[in-house]
């Protein structure tokens, strides 16, 4: 893992010093509307999330499960525009001292302009991007821009990846490596796939210092299980569902409940 002085890596290491694993919480910007999504992200940080992952709603998602797809479609129908992401990052960072990664498919960044996107994200106070559909060997422009602007670039590693591919992901990522717990789309599952433990071990062998496990984690028990071998656990669907069904207060309660699983 190469790179700069990463806010995200610092937050994960701070959690480790507190004898905890890190909790990374996902919410889409603009769901159910921009104002509520900003309030929700702030509440998530205040309730136990160590790193925020704000998603860019996208019309053609390839890895989002039904709950997140429904939420992002609501955001798009409500008039979401890409500049709302920078507004959300700016206002959340003004309220809480928690690093913010933006999770986005690559096409919106490409259409907006890689340099312009990176510059405006830095100006808003963002920490970097999670890019699920672009591999390091296809991301030269993003790697170059992220270096210039001091942004984290989080690439995904999957159980099907070869050791050579895992080494490339580990060497190219900053902040952490997003360890995909199972093949398929996001969502809650009864049990985490055992493949995540093996994949994390393989990533360590290939040089990854920090690895966070995502996809399928929705309970404090699952967070605790993932943190037996990983540095952080990424939760999305459970938080989006709580916000959808009960608003910001219900989201805050759910974050506190799930964050209880981060103790070591």
Spatial distance between the Cα atoms of 189 and 222, rounded to a whole number of angstroms: 10
H-state helical runs in 18-113: 34-46, 66-77, 83-95, 106-112
Q: Among residues 39, 64, 84, 231, which one is catalytic? A: 64
Is residue 64 flagged as an active site residue? yes
Cα–Cα dist 245/40, whole Å: 13
CA 129 to chain centroid, in Å, comes to 8
Secondary structure of 219-249 as H, E, C letters: CHHHHHHHCCCCCEEEECHHHHHHHHHHHHH
Asked if omega into 32 is within 30° of 0 (cis), the reply is yes
From 39, 50, 53, 231, active-site residue: 53
- Tell me if residue 152 is catalytic: no
Q: What are phi and psi of 172, to 5 degrees?
A: -90, -20
Residues that are catalytic: 53, 64
């Amino acid at each position: 893992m190469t790179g700069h002085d990463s806010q995200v890596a610092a937050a994960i290491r701070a959690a480790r010093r507190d004898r905890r694993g890190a909790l990374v919480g996902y919410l889409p910007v603009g769901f159910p509307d921009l104002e509520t999504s900003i309030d929700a992200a702030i509440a998530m940080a205040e309730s136990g999330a160590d790193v925020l992952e704000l998603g860019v709603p996208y019309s053609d998602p390839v890895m989002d499960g039904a709950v997140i797809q429904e939420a992002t479609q609501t955001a798009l129908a409500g008039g979401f525009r890409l500049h709302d992401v920078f507004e959300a990052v700016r206002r959340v960072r003004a309220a809480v001292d928690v690093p913010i990664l933006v999770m986005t498919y690559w096409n919106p960044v490409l259409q907006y302009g890689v340099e312009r996107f990176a510059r405006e994200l830095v100006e808003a106070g963002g920490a970097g991007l999670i890019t699920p559909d672009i591999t390091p060997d296809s991301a030269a422009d993003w790697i170059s821009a992220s270096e210039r602007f001091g942004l984290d670039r989080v690439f995904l590693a999957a159980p099907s990846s070869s050791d050579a591919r895992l080494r490339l992901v580990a060497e190219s990522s900053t902040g952490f490596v997003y360890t995909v717990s199972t093949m398929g789309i996001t969502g809650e599952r009864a049990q985490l796939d055992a493949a995540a433990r093996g994949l994390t071990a393989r990533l360590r062998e290939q040089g990854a210092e920090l690895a966070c496990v995502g996809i399928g984690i929705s309970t404090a028990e699952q967070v605790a299980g993932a943190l037996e071998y990983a540095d952080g656990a990424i939760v999305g669907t459970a938080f989006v569902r709580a916000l959808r069904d009960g608003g910001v207060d219900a989201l805050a309660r759910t974050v506190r409940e799930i964050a209880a699983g981060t103790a070591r």
